[in-house]
Amino acid sequence: MSLLFNSCVSWKFYNLVFSHFKVGILFFKKFSNYYFLKNHTCFFQINSYPKRVTAAKISQLPKKIRTSNTLVDKADDEDDEDLTVNKTWVLAPKIHEGDITQILNSLLQGYDNKLRPDIGVRPTVIETDVYVNSIGPVDPINMEYTIDIIFAQTWFDSRLKFNSTMKVLMLNSNMVGKIWIPDTFFRNSRKSDAHWITTPNRLLRIWNDGRVLYTLRLTINAECYLQLHNFPMDEHSCPLEFSSYGYPKNEIEYKWKKPSVEVADPKYWRLYQFAFVGLRNSTEISHTISGDYVIMTIFFDLSRRMGYFTIQTYIPCILTVVLSWVSFWINKDAVPARTSLGITTVLTMTTLSTIARKSLPKVSYVTAMDLFVSVCFIFVFAALMEYGTLHYFTSNKKGKTATKDRKLKNKASMTPGLHPGSTLIPMNSVSVPQEEDYGYQCLEGKDCASFFCCFEDCRTGSWREGRIHIRIAKIDSYSRIFFPTAFALFNLVYWVGYLYL
């Protein structure tokens, strides 16, 4: 039969809780149907209380030492079981604070933290791992983003091997400065902060085979150059690059400990305008005059959300353009109404254009939003100019008609031969054929209907060949069809081109 016992714990602690019995040089304590065995230095848990144990029998127990996390009894346990018959006792010595201190002192004795492990023999391999706590916010004006990570590095240092039943030494941040640590830095970082509340958020563990684990929590403001040609339908890959500052590839090699990087739940991230699509990691070599360096990069793929810009820019621009078309249904003689409406829509588009630009850096190229706002501005301005053109030609025609009537009146008043009994009929009471009553044959028989000219110009001789005839009185009717159709076609091409092509 064989018994395996738990690692020994403090005897002083159990003295405060349990009743105990002394048999020979062994002590037994009982708690919750379990018995605890103690010799001079250790305290173990066993299944049952021995009925017959003597000092003579105890001297016959084998002196095997072993640690275990579980208690296993390969035979059926009985309360009155004799522990001196066919038993193998497996005991583990207690680890004292003094033992750990002695191990650390022996490791640091003669240790030079200025030299990397295996210097002059082989490159030191650094296995890296990153856990992403959060990303955001992303600042498009300064082209940077904020990320909170736990950065872990693992390497082997043969100078830190030790022989002990304790497999790993869990140490705090005070030991970090006493051993060699990789000089890793983040290449595209503008500002980095380590967390110090309530204590430095750093962890150091040393295994008995010389393996070292060093982790720390960092908040980094990293550069992310945004290409805004498709703004606000743009997608970006924001990198996080790190490498050794002074050790080239033949001194330090970085490797990923895991194939992918772990992240926390993205729904708690402060990305606001962006949506997290995914991430990927890569390794590349940078060739510089000081040597070849291994660069580790994590790419965070982000896609911009359009909701904010749709509400703040696109919908107001579309409504402003549609509002400018109302003037086509207002009487052309209502000059104040049509003029004020046109000027108001133009000023509104100017304000919307200025507001849309505030959320962008001052880039020299045209973005997708700039294109849309500019085209909307052109439509609104064209609607205002349409009425200006209509009003100009209408007023010009009325002026010419009034001048002609005045000349006819003067000529009639100076015409001799009017008899005293005759009556002078005013010209405004005479039925004069309107523009529609005239044919389009004029200027030596050429058809004005096939050229771009005003009919009045054709009649007065200012007609020029090569222009199509347009009737000024029906410009509003043409605009009611042309403006909505052209704007609808523009929107179709714009949204299909930027969203699907």
Residue 367 to residues 114, 174, 223, 316, 371, Cα–Cα distance (Å):
52, 52, 21, 18, 6
3-state SS, one letter per residue, for 243-310: EECCCCCCCEEEEECCCCCEECCHHHCCCCCEEEEEEEEEEEEEEECCEEEEEEEEEEEEEECCHHHH
499: helix, coil or strand? helix
With tokens 């579309």, the residue in question is 318
One-letter amino acid of 480: R
Q: What is the pLDDT of residue 68?
A: 38
3-state SS, one letter per residue, for 58-110: HCCCCCEECCCCCCEECCCCCCCCCCCCCCEEEECCCCCHHHHHHHHHHHHCC
Residues in the chain, overall count: 501
**R_g of the chain computed on alpha carbons:** 46
At a CB cut-off of 8 Å and minimum separation 6, what does 380 contact? Answer: 320, 321, 324, 342, 345, 346, 348, 349
Residue 194 to residues 33, 113, 179, 299, Cα–Cα distance (Å):
49, 22, 19, 22
Residue 14 has pLDDT above 90, yes or no: no
Domains 116-304 and 306-392+471-501 share a fold: no
Q: What is the pLDDT of residue 174?
A: 87
One-letter amino acid of 411: K
At a CB cut-off of 8 Å and minimum separation 6, what does 264 contact? Answer: 131, 132, 133, 134
Query: Residue 392 — very low, low, confident or very high, per pLDDT cuts 50/70/90?
Result: confident
Mean pLDDT of 161-182: 91
**Contact of 81 with 51, CB cutoff 8 Å:** yes
Rounded Cα distance, 450 and 283, in Å: 70
Rounded Cα distance, 476 and 163, in Å: 96
Mean pLDDT of 258-270: 91
Residue 406 has pLDDT above 60, yes or no: yes
Alpha carbon 271 to its chain centroid, in Å, reads 5
**Quick one: which of 299, 306, 301, 300 has its CA closest to 273?**
306
Domain ranges across the chain: 2-91, 116-304, 306-392+471-501
* 295 DSSP β-pair partners: 243, 284
Over residues 74-111, the pLDDT tens digits come to 334 444 444 444 544 444 455 666 788 889 999 999 99
As to burial, measured by CB atoms within 10 angstroms (0-12 exposed, 13-18 middle, 19+ buried), residue 346 is middle
Q: What is the DSSP letter of 41?
A: S
**Contact of 180 with 113, CB cutoff 8 Å:** yes
Residue 256 has pLDDT above 90, yes or no: yes
Rounded Cα distance, 115 and 416, in Å: 126
High-pLDDT (> 70) share of the chain, %: 65
pTM (2 d.p.):
0.68
Given CATH 3.30.390.30, say whether it is the number of domain 116-304.
no
High-pLDDT (> 90) share of the chain, %: 55
Q: Would you identify the CATH topology of the domain 306-392+471-501?
A: Methane Monooxygenase Hydroxylase; Chain G, domain 1 (1.20.58)
